[in-house]
Each structure stands twice: as structure tokens, then as C-alpha cells.
Amino acid sequence: MVPRFTSVQQVRDGLRGVNYLADDGIAGVAFLADRLAKPILVEGPAGTGKTQLAKSIADMTGARLIRLQCYEGLDESKALYEWNYKKQLLRIQADKKSDGWSEIHDDIFSREFLLTRPLLEAISAPDPVVLLIDEVDRVEVETEALLLEILSEYQISIPELGTVTATQIPMVLLTSNNTRELSEALKRRCLYLHVDYPSMEREKEIVLTKVEGITENLADQVARIVRSIRQLDLKKAPSVSETLDWARTIMLLNIETIDAQVAKDSLHVLLKYQTDIAKAAKELSVDLV
């Protein structure tokens, strides 16, 4: 298989080209995952760009993004595959006069009657694929077992049909918000990447890149205020996406300088709990006076 990336720097430059500002840690793990043909387990707080990383890798490589959104109760019929029972029943009814059950059995359990779900779709696709298994920590430990074969062998065993092996090795990213501890078996199969909140300078750069028309001075104010708010004891710290929403709000209000009143009046865009808003408002009254 031809490597997707030639160097760590090429990964950084490629991601920057699709407006994802990666550091050497992120770019390095993506490069190694491609060369070692291993999945990446991306952990960190919600809203730090974990899902966007998969989307951006797909954009920069021109690959198709296939996404499996995890949730409690996810089973193989939604993640791997299921049989088209209605179509199978019609086939059986059409062959009522047939004497050979084995012939009908072999027919109805063929690819024609198979409904592919994200995991099977990703390994059976002939074109390049980035597979995103999003919020894997939301599924039960037992459900993780469904992922192990595809994460290690890039194949899926279907009892009635046999083993389906990947026609191309997809780039696989699993994201986790650390709501529960993942199994050792799953972790062992992946390269590990922790994506935390960006530094103040990097967040300023993200704001400048993502918010059209914002000045460097205003982006600096946004990054500094968000940085100070994240240092408070909050129920939910503002994510990068919420920083961008706040910066766009400031722009829509035609504000050039953020004072304490402006910040307090727009905190509902940045924070999602009233206790957090009250705590941040009190802090801003001191810092921005």
C-alpha cells in the first residue's frame, strides 16, 4: 500500500491547508499510524478537535469519511452488518418449489442480501477511506469486542458468509471523552493521542484562521479571556468550538474591544451552566475592570 504521508511536516502542512492547526504531536501520531497501519485512539476533553481531526485528514487526503457514531446499546446490526431479511424472505417464497434447501441457503446468505454498516463498509470500500469511530467510550465494554477484529486484522468474520478482508487499509481514528475507562484489549491495538485544550497562542491562531475578518488584537483578547475562564473551577470548561462561537458573536456585535460588560453579556455563548456563568462573571469583573 502506498503511504499517505511522506513526513511529519507534510502532515502538518496538509492539515493547515484544510484549516486544522496541528502540532508536532498530532502530526507525528498521524504519520506513524499511516506507516504502521494502526488505528489512533484520540482522547481528551469534549470540543478540543478530536472529531475534526478525522474530518481534516479525510479532506487533506481526498479520502471518503465513514463515521460510526457510538451510543449506549450499539450492536453489530448497526456497527458491522445485518442481513436483508425482507429480501431473503421474498427469495425463499419465490423458490418454494425448489427441492434443495442448501442451494437456497447459499443463495440468501450471499453478498446480494448483506446490508453493510460503517465498519464493514470501511474495509470493503475499494476507494481510500478514513474511518471515524466517534465517542467509543459511550458503548459498553462488551460492545468493544465487536471492534477488536477490525482494529487488529482489518477483517470481519461473518458466520454465514466467511471472512471479509479489507481491500484497502482504512485510516482509523477512535475518539473518547474519557467518560469511562476503555479496555486494555482495545488500547493495545491503537496508537495513543491525547488532545487537550490548546495553548493561548495556538487558540489565538485558531481564532484567526477560523473567524473571518477578526483582527489579531481581538483574537488575542478572546484567547486570553477564554484561557482565564478555563482556569476556574467549572462544571464544563469552554471548548474550542465554543471559543469560535464566542469570537463570531463578538464580530457580529461589531465590538472592537472586549470590556467586562461585553464579556458578561455574552457569556451564555461560551458557557452552558448558570453556576459557571456566575462564577466567570465575577472573575471578569475583577480582571477586566
The answer to whether 25 and 198 have CB atoms below 8 angstroms apart is: no
User: Do 18 and 160 share a structural domain?
Assistant: yes
> Would residue 2 count as lying in a domain?
no
Is pLDDT above 80 for 62? Answer: yes
User: Do 219 and 109 share a structural domain?
Assistant: no
Residue 159 confidence (pLDDT): 85
User: Do 251 and 130 share a structural domain?
Assistant: no
Amino acid making up residue 285: S
Lowest average pLDDT, out of 155-164, 171-180, 233-242, 246-255, goes to: 155-164
d(CA 271, CA 274): 8
Lowest average pLDDT, out of 14-23, 91-100, 162-171, 276-285, goes to: 91-100
The mean pLDDT of 171-188, rounded to a whole number, is 93
The mean pLDDT of 203-211, rounded to a whole number, is 95
Residue 40 confidence (pLDDT): 97
> Would residue 71 count as lying in a domain?
yes
User: Do 72 and 21 share a structural domain?
Assistant: yes
Residue 266 confidence (pLDDT): 92
> Would residue 1 count as lying in a domain?
no
* Residue 126 DSSP label: S
User: Do 157 and 283 share a structural domain?
Assistant: no
User: Do 163 and 135 share a structural domain?
Assistant: yes
Residue 278 confidence (pLDDT): 93
Q: For residues 111 and 45, which has the higher predicted lDDT (pLDDT)?
A: 45
The mean pLDDT of 58-87, rounded to a whole number, is 91
Q: What is the largest CA-CA distance in the chain?
A: 88
The enclosing domain of 147 has a CATH number of: 3.40.50.300
Give tens-digit pLDDT for 190-203: 999 999 999 999 99
Domain boundary among 169, 194, 219: 194
| Residue 101: band (very low, low, confident or very high) from pLDDT cuts 50, 70, 90 | low
> Measured between alpha carbons, how far is residue 100 from residues 84, 107, 110, 162 in Å?
21, 11, 16, 21
| Residue 110: band (very low, low, confident or very high) from pLDDT cuts 50, 70, 90 | confident
| Residue 100: band (very low, low, confident or very high) from pLDDT cuts 50, 70, 90 | low
Sign of the C-alpha dihedral, residues 80, 86, 89, 91?
Answer: negative
Domain boundary among 194, 220, 249: 194
Domain boundary among 144, 166, 194: 194
Residue 42 confidence (pLDDT): 97
Percentage of residues in the chain having pLDDT higher than 90: 67
Lowest average pLDDT, out of 101-105, 157-161, 247-251, goes to: 101-105
User: Do 188 and 222 share a structural domain?
Assistant: no
Range of the domain at 25: 8-77+117-194
Spatial neighbors of 278 by CB under 8 A, at least 6 apart, are none
> Would residue 88 count as lying in a domain?
yes
| Residue 226: band (very low, low, confident or very high) from pLDDT cuts 50, 70, 90 | very high
**DSSP run (H or E) holding 67:** strand 64-69
User: Do 242 and 132 share a structural domain?
Assistant: no
Q: For residues 112 and 71, which has the higher predicted lDDT (pLDDT)?
A: 71
d(CA 275, CA 29): 38
Query: Shortest CA distance to 173 belongs to which of 21, 64, 50?
Result: 50
Residue 98 confidence (pLDDT): 58
> Would residue 158 count as lying in a domain?
yes
Is pLDDT above 90 for 217? Answer: yes
Residue 89 confidence (pLDDT): 82
For the chain, the C-alpha Rg in angstroms (whole number) is 24
User: Do 179 and 233 share a structural domain?
Assistant: no
User: Do 94 and 124 share a structural domain?
Assistant: no
Residue 286 confidence (pLDDT): 67
E-strand ranges in 143-267 read: 155-158, 162-165, 171-176, 191-194
Residue 196 confidence (pLDDT): 93
Residue 88 confidence (pLDDT): 73
Q: Across the strands, what pairs with 100?
A: none
Render 246-261 in DSSP notation, one character per residue: HHHHHHHTT-SS--HH
Residue 103 confidence (pLDDT): 58
Give tens-digit pLDDT for 118-145: 999 999 999 999 999 999 999 988 888 8
User: Do 57 and 189 share a structural domain?
Assistant: yes
Amino acid making up residue 266: S
* Tally of domains in the chain: 3
